[in-house]
Amino acid sequence: MNLKQFASAALFAVFGLAAVAAQASTSSINDASVMQYRYGEHLDVQKVLSVKNDQHHACGVVNTRMDYLDSHGQPQSVRYISYATSGCHDN
């Protein structure tokens, strides 16, 4: 492998890692661009894309993020508090 090929591979790897890091940061539950839901607010939800808790096997109150499409097809995200029960029972 010559220097030109090595430099190209290294540059590709750096951009690939940057893209992965950017994707991980945009899907964070506590992302500043995500709307905080308040009880009684109307949400324009056409299709739910994903629902994620910040603690996978928790028992109790956790932060939750829902990503969805509104009636205009625009992606939206909302953060709210929910009660997780996946960690409440021993197997």
In the predicted model, what is the mean pLDDT of the chain?
A: 77
- Read off the amino acid at residue 3: L
Residue 62: which of 40, 79, 75 has the closest Cα?
A: 79
Instruction: For residue 66, tell me if it sits in a domain.
Output: yes
- pLDDT of residue 77 exceeding 60, the answer is yes
Domain holding 19, by residue range, is: 3-84
Instruction: For residue 90, tell me if it sits in a domain.
Output: no
pLDDT at 18: 47
Distance CA 27, CA 66 (A): 10
Instruction: For residue 73, tell me if it sits in a domain.
Output: yes
> Which tens digit of pLDDT belongs to each residue from 32-62?
678 999 989 999 999 999 999 888 778 889 9
pLDDT band at 85 (very low <50, low <70, confident <90, very high): confident
Higher pLDDT among residues 65 and 22, named by residue: 65
Which residue has 């894309």 as its token pair? 49
Please say whether the beta carbons of 77 and 31 come within 8 A: yes
pLDDT at 33: 77
Number of domains in the chain: 1
What CATH number has the domain bearing residue 34?
A: 2.30.140.50
Which residue has 């096997």 as its token pair? 57
